[in-house]
Structure 1
Amino acid sequence: MNEDTHSAPARILIYSTAAVILTIGMQQISTILVPVFFSVFAYLIFAPLVHWLQRKGVPGTVSVGLVILLFIVVAIASGLLVLGSLLQLSTRIPNYETQLMGILEKLADYLPSAGFSIESILRDIGAFAFGITAGILTGVLDAGTTTGLIIITTTFLLLDAAGAPKKVQKEIESQSFLVLQVTEFGKNLINYIVIRTETNLLGGIGTAVLLLIGGIDFAILWGILTFLLAYIPYIGFILAALPPMLLGLFKYGPLGALAVLAGISLVNALVENVLFPSLAGKGLKLSPSVVFLSLFYWAYVLGTAGALIAIPLTMVVKMILESSEETRWMAKLMESSGSRNQNEEDAG
């Protein structure tokens, strides 16, 4: 007992050191890890469709080819749509910049003098706007290269899954409790990713339709942005709402910006508080603080892409911690209080 008490700090130190080393290592190879992670998650999304086609009598290779073709068509169509919208947006930025300057000049009469020039602030805002546009265009081009690698990797993963004999898979699963646990976790992860993607798609479509009705420029682009950023809990909605709010301000004034915010908030509330919980059941079983902190951790390790897949990656970490008796208490700390109480009731 005394030996275990004294060894606990040593184990915590070892785990902490290993976590730091692993974090630094993943950060150094993030350019490799990002397409690999996205390929695995794309595989988890499309594998059920491949299996469904196989059950309908479609051969394995043909079913994979059809699914990958669908993936490529969606990726190319979305990429061209986003790139075209961004190019049009870049040509209108000077006009938006002029409107923003006019609004700020009107506000300057009501703001106290702080010893700085309003002209310098406007120039800085203009430079920032152009810099953001250039960064977005560069990011889209980089994403095109990464998407190609993701499609190729996903294809090989789906081909391997389609060619694996069911009997061999069942025999392997029956021999290892850890494999069974991983299989069960994989089902939960697939369920989360598929449901999250479906609800994000509905939220993006709802936002785009709402903005089209309101006459906001580039409504489809903001709908796609809403779909992507909805993978980021808590702050993704805010980031997606800012551009259309700004355009609503330019077109209709402050009331227009508030109306855009109210409409997007309504769509987000319906998706996040009604639709997603009803489909996802008991939810993530992750505490809100862990979810929030995981966004910063994975964004630090993998960049912006890390924030998009922070929740699935955190679920993977929780599964790994649950696989060992020594680290199971860490997994319990990651659960929400409601999940812990439910588990205690089930155990009782």
Structure 2
Amino acid sequence: MTGRRNIEIGIRTLLILATLVIVIAGLKAAERFFVPFLLALFIATVSFPITAWLRRHKVPRFFAVITTVLVDFAFLAGVVLIGVTLIGELQEKWESKYQAQSTQKLAQTEDWAVATIVKWSNVPEEEARRNVRAYVTEDLTKQLSNIKVEDIVGLGTNVVGRVTAFLGAAFIVVLFTVFMLMEARMFGRRLSLIAEARGPNFERMLHAGKDIQRFLGIKTVVSLATGFLAGFLCWAAGLDFFILWGILAWALNYIPVMGSIVAGIPPTILTLVLMGWPSALAVGVGYVAINTFLGNFIEPMMMGRRFGISTLVVIISVMFWGWVWGPVGMFLAVPIMMMLKVILENSYEFRWIAVAISKEKGELADDEKELKEAVEAAETVGLAEGTAPEVGASR
């Protein structure tokens, strides 16, 4: 009996793994469908409170949905327009002003490195300067001098081409968003009718949808706060294009761990070029403080224990969904993982997976108890499924 059960478990595991491979291949192949759909789901989930507020104020459903969609895409279009404009100005200013200053800073760094080597070793100054140029400054100087206006125009053309190519997908996103908002209220009623008709009980899925909506709303608020504080920090430091750095911090904050790091690199480097390393250090520390305060204190406090995901799982999910769907996959990695986690939490059989990927809560005894209960629940479901055929056969 035990051997037969082990064989069944092995076959079931192989089938699950094979199914996962097929599903992943399908997700990667169907990128053009799933990416607009998930973007629309993300936008509709975040903006549904606007529609609900308008409906409470007696605005007809159609006009409430259209108003919500117009507000959403007017905001996104404004952000993109401002961002592209500021990037163009930044690139032009780089060639006219920042490039010369960066070359000067590089020459000063070379002089400092040569003086330090001569002071602490017996190497002649000419040899020390030759070594510093060969290993450090020469390549950097060439790279700085290779940044031309032609490259900027080419980059701008590439961006315009990408935006134009995305307009078709954006139209699909708008359609998806409109219909999702139109059907949002009726969706819950239909699931209740299915349950009343003795169909599957989707009450747990409705609860999961509310949890995901709350998560995305909190993440959006925290991202906006991150962008505002980052822009204010750059403005206080006297850095140019502080609005651009705020937009960058807001957008990349949706990509956990890596997004915040990437958002802080350009303004820190620009501060180093224009103002020196003390100011650059202050800006870098400011970015770390903002992300630490909001990401490690405010966001967990607002979300509570239910939404915690292990940092390792987050990093792996960002890399995985980035591989599947590119930058959009990295952007949607955490919302997707939250959907999966909440769905797994509301499943008796697979709840142990949700517990396993959750963030450590600090009290090991509680975690072990929760994991044990989840595994026991899964085993109970498995035993019930396995014994059902035998009961039928005995009859």
Smaller-chain TM-score range?
Answer: 0.7 to 0.9
Q: Which letter does structure 1 place at the counterpart of 2:279?
A: G
User: Which string of whole-angstrom CA distances, capped at 9 and with x for unpartnered residues, describes residues 70-118 of structure 1?
Assistant: 1122122112111110111121222333333332333334276275584
Q: 1:344 aligns with which of 369, 377, 384?
A: 369
CA distance in 2: counterparts of 1:107 and 1:57, whole angstroms: 66
User: Which string of whole-angstrom CA distances, capped at 9 and with x for unpartnered residues, describes residues 231-260 of structure 1?
Assistant: 111121110001110111122100111111
User: Which string of whole-angstrom CA distances, capped at 9 and with x for unpartnered residues, describes residues 97-152 of structure 1?
Assistant: 33333323333342762755843443235557986995577346535624443223
CA distance in 2: counterparts of 1:247 and 1:153, whole angstroms: 40
- Which residue pairs with 1:86 in the alignment? 87
| Counterparts in 2 of 1:149 and 1:99: CA distance versus 1, 3 Å | farther
CA distance in 1: counterparts of 2:246 and 2:24, whole angstroms: 34
| Counterparts in 2 of 1:228 and 1:141: CA distance versus 1, 3 Å | farther
Q: Which letter does structure 1 place at the counterpart of 2:138?
A: E
Q: Which letter does structure 2 place at the counterpart of 1:102?
A: Q
The answer as to whether partners of 1:200 and 1:228 remain within 8 angstroms in 2 is yes
CA distance in 2: counterparts of 1:168 and 1:121, whole angstroms: 63
Q: Which letter does structure 1 place at the counterpart of 2:339?
A: V
SS at match of 2:240: coil
Please state if 1:282 is matched with 2:305: yes
The answer as to whether partners of 1:298 and 1:306 remain within 8 angstroms in 2 is yes
CA distance in 2: counterparts of 1:41 and 1:309, whole angstroms: 8
| Counterparts in 2 of 1:300 and 1:292: CA distance versus 1, 3 Å | same
- Which residue pairs with 2:98 in the alignment? 96
| Counterparts in 2 of 1:118 and 1:250: CA distance versus 1, 3 Å | closer
Please state if 1:105 is matched with 2:125: no
CA distance in 1: counterparts of 2:66 and 2:19, whole angstroms: 41
- Which residue pairs with 2:379 in the alignment? none
| Counterparts in 2 of 1:89 and 1:147: CA distance versus 1, 3 Å | farther
Displacement after TM superposition at 1:40 (Å): 0.7
Q: 2:193 aligns with which of 152, 171, 188?
A: 171
The answer as to whether partners of 2:300 and 2:308 remain within 8 angstroms in 1 is no
- Which residue pairs with 2:208 in the alignment? 185
SS at match of 1:192: helix
Q: Which letter does structure 1 place at the counterpart of 2:264?
A: A
Q: Which letter does structure 1 place at the counterpart of 2:175?
A: I
TM-score (norm 2): 0.78
- Which residue pairs with 2:240 in the alignment? 217
Which residues in structure 2 correspond to 1:4-153 (within 5 Å)? 4-94=5-95, 95-109=97-111, 110=113, 113=131, 115=134, 118-125=137-144, 127=146, 138-139=158-159, 142-143=162-163, 145=167, 146-153=169-176
The answer as to whether partners of 1:208 and 1:219 remain within 8 angstroms in 2 is yes
Q: Which letter does structure 2 place at the counterpart of 1:344?
A: K
Q: 2:319 aligns with which of 280, 296, 299?
A: 296
CA distance in 1: counterparts of 2:355 and 2:156, whole angstroms: 40
Displacement after TM superposition at 1:332 (Å): 3.6
- Which residue pairs with 2:288 in the alignment? 265
CA distance in 2: counterparts of 1:136 and 1:190, whole angstroms: 36
Runs of 4+ in 1 over 6 A off after TM superposition: 128-133
SS at match of 2:202: helix
Q: Which letter does structure 2 place at the counterpart of 1:75?
A: L
Displacement after TM superposition at 1:156 (Å): 2.1
Residue identity over aligned pairs, in percent, reads 25
The answer as to whether partners of 1:277 and 1:283 remain within 8 angstroms in 2 is no
Displacement after TM superposition at 1:321 (Å): 4.8
Q: Which letter does structure 2 place at the counterpart of 1:39?
A: A
Q: Which letter does structure 1 place at the counterpart of 2:258?
A: I
Q: Which letter does structure 2 place at the counterpart of 1:204?
A: G
Q: 2:329 aligns with which of 303, 306, 325?
A: 306
CA distance in 1: counterparts of 2:359 and 2:294, whole angstroms: 21
Displacement after TM superposition at 1:296 (Å): 0.5
Please state if 1:227 is matched with 2:250: yes
Please state if 1:241 is matched with 2:264: yes
The answer as to whether partners of 2:212 and 2:342 remain within 8 angstroms in 1 is no
Q: Which letter does structure 1 place at the counterpart of 2:3?
A: N
CA distance in 2: counterparts of 1:132 and 1:310, whole angstroms: 31
SS at match of 1:231: coil
Displacement after TM superposition at 1:10 (Å): 2.9
| Most deviating of 209-218 and 107-116 | 107-116
Aligned alpha-carbon RMSD (Å): 3.1
SS at match of 1:270: helix
| Counterparts in 2 of 1:168 and 1:252: CA distance versus 1, 3 Å | same
Q: Which letter does structure 1 place at the counterpart of 2:85?
A: G
Q: Which runs of 5 or more structure 1 residues have no equivalent in the other structure?
A: none
The answer as to whether partners of 2:101 and 2:274 remain within 8 angstroms in 1 is no
| Counterparts in 2 of 1:245 and 1:35: CA distance versus 1, 3 Å | same
TM-score (norm 1): 0.87
By relative contact order (CA 8 Å, sep 6+), the higher-ranking structure is 1
Q: Which letter does structure 1 place at the counterpart of 2:98?
A: Y
CA distance in 2: counterparts of 1:50 and 1:279, whole angstroms: 23
The answer as to whether partners of 1:209 and 1:219 remain within 8 angstroms in 2 is yes
Please state if 1:202 is matched with 2:225: yes
